[in-house]
Amino acid sequence: MGVAQIAGYTVTRELGQGGMGKVFQALSPQGGTVAIKTMLLSPGVDARTRWETVERFQREARAARSLMHPNIVQVLDIGADQDTFFIVMEFLDGQTVRELIELAGAIRLERAVQIMAASCEALAYAHDQGIVHRDIKPDNIMLLRNGTVKLTDFGLAAIVAEKGVTHTGTVMGTFAYMSPEQARGEKLDARSDIFSLGSTFYEMLTGRPPFPGTTPAAVLSGILNTEPQPIQGLPASISRTVTKCLRKQPHYRFQNAREIIAGLRNGDTSAAAAGTAILPGRPVTPPPAVAPPRDSGVPASTGGAIVSRPAVETPLAGFRCSKCGERMNRSVATCWKCGAPNSLMVQRTQQAKRQQEINQALSGLEDPTKKGGRSRPR
């Protein structure tokens, strides 16, 4: 942009460029480090485009400035300097979820849950203020060096109380993460953000978006018509959360962000009995099927393999050692014949430990089921 100062703020370097303008790192008149998001209109832009761009920029400023929450980027100042409109925000030292995924692929489960929970806290607060973000995606969730999660970029935010802000028939947002109703240009509410956050959570857990495609049309077709590929090996509480966030119909999703946090807390170790992996996206090879004795009475439809039926809890019902194939009691730690560990007990122990780690990751948050369901800024 070629300027050293913006309304008294000394620009030190350019941080990036967005759809409406550039973002700079700068020093405030008091000497603190801030980020400045600018919008510079081209002199040749037509009147309608100019009005729409300015209105969108000012809407972001109004939306973000009204939100005071530890998981939402804080707006410090708003103004104009000649033809440059600007928003001054706190400087965030860290990386986006997008950058972390590109660097590491799938994010470690406990960290992904922490990011999801903090994002839910931010969204619950914003929705309480009547603001729908409309552009939740990995690029707009910032991870600070101290571990704090910040929701950013309210450039598409809709202030529900303002008339004429959400226009039915207008598609705005990022294709890969928008909800079905957003893709159809329908009126949006908080549940649209929940779908977008679910898409982001899915990508954190797998390293890939839930609705891949080489063209926007292919992506939108997936959002509208297909279900995402299931993620193997998740604790049941996490799997249910992802699935419910990504329901096509809003009334089948979580109805507010606090319900998501409650769902993450609701541990369930039943997935261990299915022989699934502990790490997301990495299915464990199940123990080899062991042919039963000819007189065992196993139905031919099972392919001649022993099939475990959890409803039958007799000690030896259909359970064999995964190493030597000998029948063994599911309640003992090791096989009596070869000494191999009981694979079912190992899976259950690992699953319980994983859910405990998830609960510990959420321990710093208020339980919405115990305090009337309201989230307060800290």
pLDDT tens digits in sequence order for the chain, 378 residues long: 455 788 889 999 998 876 567 889 999 988 899 999 887 666 677 778 777 777 777 776 777 778 899 999 988 888 877 667 788 999 999 999 999 999 989 999 999 999 999 999 999 999 999 889 989 999 999 999 999 999 998 766 665 544 333 434 444 557 899 999 999 999 899 999 999 999 999 999 999 999 999 898 999 999 999 999 999 888 888 999 999 999 999 999 999 999 999 888 764 323 332 323 323 333 333 333 334 444 444 444 444 333 333 333 334 445 677 778 777 666 667 776 777 787 766 766 766 666 666 666 666 555 554 554 444 444
The tokens describing 75, both together, are 């707006």
Structural domain spans, the chain: 5-90, 94-272
Packed helices 257-265 and 236-245: angle between N→C axes, nearest 10 degrees: 160
Report d(CA 174, CA 195) in Å as an integer.
13
Architecture of domain 94-272: Orthogonal Bundle (1.10)
pTM reported for the whole predicted model? 0.68
DSSP state letter for 291: P
Query: CATH for 5-90, among 3.10.20.30, 3.30.200.20, 3.40.50.620, 1.10.150.130?
Result: 3.30.200.20
Report d(CA 192, CA 246) in Å as an integer.
10
Instruction: Considering the candidates 93, 135, 139, 367, report the single residue annotated as catalytic.
Output: 135
Q: List residues bridging with 36 in a β-sheet.
A: 24, 88
Q: Characterize 174-191 residue by residue with b for buried, 16 or more Cβ atoms within 10 angstroms of its Cβ, and e for exposed.
A: bbbbbbbbbbeebebbbb
Q: Characterize 139-152 residue by residue with b for buried, 16 or more Cβ atoms within 10 angstroms of its Cβ, and e for exposed.
A: bbbbbeeeeebbbb
Report d(CA 296, CA 317) in Å as an integer.
11
**Is-catalytic flag, 268?**
no
Condensed to tens digits (0 to 9), the pLDDT of residues 301-328 reads 444 333 333 333 334 445 677 778 777 6
